[in-house]
Chains A and B, each alone.
Chain A
């Protein structure tokens, strides 16, 4: 029996994907947009490039929920007393990922949480990261 056959595809030089439409619950104001812009520099990798919250950006609370916090914000702050990824927060709070990033963005702007940026493929500084992953897996 012969298996079905596939044809390899070539790398495409795709244009950079457009930034995702901010999925805010209601229409946003200009000042909210400016806050978003500001966040991207704060949470960025430090090279001046715009960084977005990734599924695996780790979020850590910087303080207990202030009285002014909304119930959603208070929930995030309680969950993030230890570091948690945006994906985990989205799962535990049962919020879509993009809605979660909007909420976290506001918390970063309010300096209530800290974001620890992920290490992405393009930014691999050297082989030491890959080696650290391998050593970690070997110990499993």
Chain B
């Protein structure tokens, strides 16, 4: 990018500026296998046009730390869609949708560790594409809820059958949604927040 033209760098539209009172931000991560609706969900609730940030992951980031800086390392670019919701004059929520190869998401420093929690989107026609990411969240102790996105011709499993198939503890919420609809995406986020609140009440979150 030619920064000499920085007067013309596209920035937020004036109506998209955060107020100067904005003090802190929190984030929620939206995960799930290929094509389950992550980008659609970010777009349906965001107050700004969704943006994309990228990170380059090198071999070093995958745990081999002796060849960082060498030019022969393999590098992978990981991109994330994200959107924003201003919650109050002081508090801002960011939603990150994580596309592509799941093993790389967890290398993104602080993405999950710092998140309030995660939404796992599933497509009932292909439940298994979201299995791996659920396991990774469990391994890292990231609290999550499961949202079943409404695809045409998807089997409608009874809730308990779904819970058994996904091997989810009874307290983990499972909700139906249509993430193309803003109200539905908002309900999913509210479900996550109520779940986090209940964890906080029971002392499971410190």
Contact = CB atoms under 8 A, between A and B. Distances in A.
Interface in A70-106: 70-72, 74-75, 78-79, 82-85, 87-88, 90-98
A102 to B, nearest CB: 13
Contacts of B69: 21
A67 interface: no
Given A11-B140, A78-B6, A122-B113, A85 B91 contact: no
Interface size class of chain A, counting residues whose CB lies under 8 Å from the partner chain: 35 or more
B104 interface: no
A67 B93 CA distance: 35
Nearest to B116: A121
Interface stretch (B33-41, B55-63, B173-181): B55-63
B155 A1 contact: yes
B167 A120 contact: no
A87 B167 contact: no
B11 A96 contact: no
Q: Which of B26, B111, B139 has the most chain A CB atoms inside 10 A of its CB?
A: B26
Contacts of A94: 1
Contact of B54 (A4, A83, A90): A90
Contacts of B22: 58, 83, 116
A129 B169 CA distance: 25
B190 A92 contact: no
Given A119-B26, A133-B26, A133-B93, A96 B54 contact: yes
A38 B138 CA distance: 35
A12 interface: yes
Interface string A115-127: 0111111101011
Nearest to A91: B51
Interface string B126-161: 011001001110111110000000000001010001
Contacts of A117: 24
B168 A8 contact: yes
B56 to A, nearest CB: 5
B115 to A, nearest CB: 6
Interface string B79-109: 0001011111001111010000000000011
B74 interface: no
Contact of A88 (B9, B51, B109): B51
29 contacts: A2-B165, A3-B127, A4-B128, A6-B127, A9-B136, A20-B109, A21-B61, A55-B53, A58-B92, A70-B3, A74-B6, A78-B6, A78-B9, A84-B12, A87-B94, A91-B52, A92-B10, A118-B24, A118-B26, A119-B24, A122-B206, A127-B197, A130-B116, A130-B193, A132-B91, A136-B85, A136-B93, A137-B85, A137-B93
